[in-house]
Chain A
Amino acid sequence: MNKNIILYAALLIFGLAAPFIFPAFKVQLSILCVLIVLALTWNIQGGEMGYNTFGNILFYGLGMYLCASVQVGMFFPLAEWTESGGEKTFVHTPTQFFQGMAMGLIVAAVIPTIVAGLIGYSILGLRGHYFAICTLGLGVAAGEISGGIEIIGAGQGFTTPPFPDVGSLEARGEFFYFLSFMAVVLTFITVKSIYSTRFKLILNAIRDNEDKAEAMGIQTMKYKIIGWMISAFFCGLAGGIMGGLVGYIDSTDVAFDGREMGVFMVLMAILGGKGTLWGPVIGATVFHIFKEGFWTFFLGWQYVALGVLIVVIVIYFPEGIMGWLREKYPERFGEVVDEADRKAQVELK
């Protein structure tokens, strides 16, 4: 226990000091924070509940659009803003910007939660691969449809309000870094606290055998929807932050980007080890470092690498890093190992 507190304190201090230690990587670190949030929330469905969703991207994209729309719409007419495109006819004052951002993030988190609650009953009744394909369809449909709506920029995209001039050049990076770092801490605390309750056991029961869980008197549907709503809350928040960070929203390439973000979150959780608390965090970090390296040095081949990476991870490494560690050092995970049993296994190999 004592060791854990030291670990968390060290991570927290590192997280707070990171933008000053690596000033050149502030944007990358912010993106890493968003990726960790997405991986952690995907893990609630895919890892703990056994519902492999491609549809969390829906909440992410929704949050992105909502945050930007609220931020603009609070002070200026939205339609004229999107029509003017890159040429800024309206400029946010710093106060307006931060007020709008705060309001936008609240909306970006709350509305996707409500949406998840509303569609949860219909969608979560599907199981297995039907659920996976249905959520895949949901994400792509959202992207295609939002690409046809005029007021949020349709096909040409939506420019989010530029960061106001507050005197310091570093302010923008630091603001978004601490915003996303706060989101990570909030997500991690929430996820960690729900993983130590009965709720997690219920999710695991649903994963292992849903019919049996239902027969035991658990209202599985209720818990599935609550789980999805928690995911949606943080996905929406992450989307809102990412929208401000990127500065430009496109329906299929940034917001409802099933080909990138939608797959990344699945891949990160699987790479780290699904069904564990630390797996998604480790997976997201490893994946982000790999991705950035590849994106920088092999520009153009990144999707080829991504495709190969997906196939390799899924086929040869489905247990992830945490699963591999667990097999290697079972004692660290609190598993009792019988020496004779282990010897027998080694001999078998």
Chain B
Amino acid sequence: MDFLIFQVPMLTLQATLDGVLLGILFALIAYGMALQWGVMNIINIAQGDLVILGGYIAYFMYLWGIHPAWGVIVSPFIMYFVGVGIYKLVINKVVDRDLFISILATFGISILFMQLMNFAFGADVVLANSGYGTTMLFDNSVTLPNSKIFSAFISIIFAIGLVIYMKKSKLGRAIRATAQNARAAKILGVDTEKVYAATFGINAALCGVAGALISITFTIHPYMGLPYTIRSFMIVIVAGLGNLPGVAMSGMGLGVFEEFADYILGTEFRIGSVFLLLVLILVYRRFKLSRKREYLK
């Protein structure tokens, strides 16, 4: 195997660092997914489209002359209300129904969002230029855009902040109680309807943060949502629900995998390899469990 990436150690380092920084972003999106999956038992196919929508908020701030980094603050606020709105309109009708219903319903939302974003923002690939410059390492052989470091840093701050919020605040405790046993929580006076709405809102807000960071670091496009959904789904099933260090680790693992796939197979197979990896992981877990005559639940 004479791939360039294995002959030049600096390229390997470059791909690994890129992957880790990218993976931290994925982990943030996956954290939102794990949250609402764990609490409401809903798989949200529109997760990626929420991310892209959040990215467009930061992009428009950039167009209006505000530094896009402020999108990290503004985007989650707007996205929180978008999330609550989606919950009130659609999700609350599918919460306690078959999971496939929720998959299909959110698939519909995803198609709707894609097309509305396409109308509103156009089908161009855009990015918000942060003007942060680049850090050169090891005699200029490894380049790291500062925006990537910035976005990884912000993601970590938001993730830690949310963990503390879930542990300490009243709403956080109510959310965790509902996740453990919705009926018992209801009996003890938790308004589960409100908790669900807040959970979906927080999930959307996290997507907003991630989207704003993605618009600074990478590019956004109305139809780019589904891969983010699949990535976060994959991270959650590898790590398991409610396993936060696991989510962070598998997020970074996925990021590194993608960067290497990009170098080895070529960019045109990058998204394909992510989806293929999902299939392989599910099949691997299925065979592992079937030895004990169990299946993925």
Contacts and interface: CB of A to CB of B under 8 A. Distances in A.
Chains A and B bind each other: yes
Interface of A: 52, 122-123, 125-130, 132-134, 136-138, 140-141, 143-145, 147-148, 154-155, 259, 263, 266, 270, 300-301, 303-304, 306-311, 314-315, 318
Q: Report which residue of A127, A128, A136 has the largest number of chain B beta carbons within 10 angstroms of its beta carbon.
A: A136
A130 B282 CA distance: 8
A126 B295 contact: yes
A315 B93 contact: yes
Interface string B232-259: 0100010000000000000000000000
Contact of B105 (A122, A155, A301, A310): A310
Nearest to B105: A314
B121 interface: no
Contacts of A263: 107, 111
Interface of B: 43, 90, 93-94, 99-101, 103-105, 107-116, 119, 226, 230, 233, 237, 266, 268-269, 271-273, 275-276, 278-279, 282-283, 286-287, 290, 295-297
B99 A129 contact: yes
Q: Is the interface of B mostly helix, strand, loop or mixed?
A: helix
Q: Is the interface of A mostly helix, strand, loop or mixed?
A: helix
B284 to A, nearest CB: 9
A334 B176 CA distance: 48
9 contacts: A132-B99, A132-B103, A137-B275, A140-B230, A144-B275, A148-B269, A301-B115, A303-B111, A311-B109
B34 to A, nearest CB: 15
Contacts of B103: 52, 129, 132-133
B96 to A, nearest CB: 13
B223 to A, nearest CB: 9
Contacts of B268: 144, 147-148, 154-155
A125 B287 contact: yes
B44 to A, nearest CB: 12
Contacts of A137: 230, 275-276, 278-279, 282
Nearest to B223: A259
B26 to A, nearest CB: 16
Contacts of A122: 283, 286-287
A303 B112 CA distance: 6
A315 B90 contact: yes
Given A148-B269, A314-B105, A318-B101, A127 B296 contact: yes
Contacts, number: 130
Nearest to A309: B108
A125 B101 contact: no
Nearest to A129: B99
B229 to A, nearest CB: 9
Given A140-B271, A315-B94, 5 more contacts: A141-B276, A148-B266, A148-B268, A263-B111, A307-B112
A144 B272 contact: yes
Contact of B279 (A134, A154, A301): A134
Contacts of A315: 90, 93-94, 101, 105
Contact of A148 (B43, B272, B282): B272
A140 B104 CA distance: 16
Contact of B107 (A155, A310, A318): A310
Contacts of B226: 140
A309 B287 CA distance: 37
A203 B103 CA distance: 23
Given A125-B286, A311-B90, A303 B115 contact: yes
B296 A126 contact: yes
Contacts of B94: 314-315
Q: Report which residue of B103, B109, B114 has the largest number of chain A beta carbons within 10 angstroms of its beta carbon.
A: B103
B100 A128 contact: yes
Contact of B283 (A123, A127, A155): A123
A314 B109 CA distance: 11
A122 B280 CA distance: 9
Contacts of B295: 125-127
10 smallest beta-carbon distances between A and B, as pairs: A307-B112, A310-B108, A144-B272, A141-B275, A303-B115, A307-B111, A148-B268, A311-B108, A137-B278, A129-B99
A138 B276 CA distance: 7
A308 B104 CA distance: 11
Nearest to A134: B282
Given A304-B112, A307-B112, A315-B105, A126 B275 contact: no
Given A125-B287, A144-B271, A311 B101 contact: no
Contacts of A133: 43, 103, 230, 233, 278, 282
Contacts of A308: 108, 112
Contacts of A270: 104
A127 B105 CA distance: 19
A125 B293 CA distance: 11
Contact of A132 (B100, B105, B275): B100
Contact of A306 (B111, B276, B278): B111
Q: Report which residue of B105, B113, B266 has the largest number of chain A beta carbons within 10 angstroms of its beta carbon.
A: B105
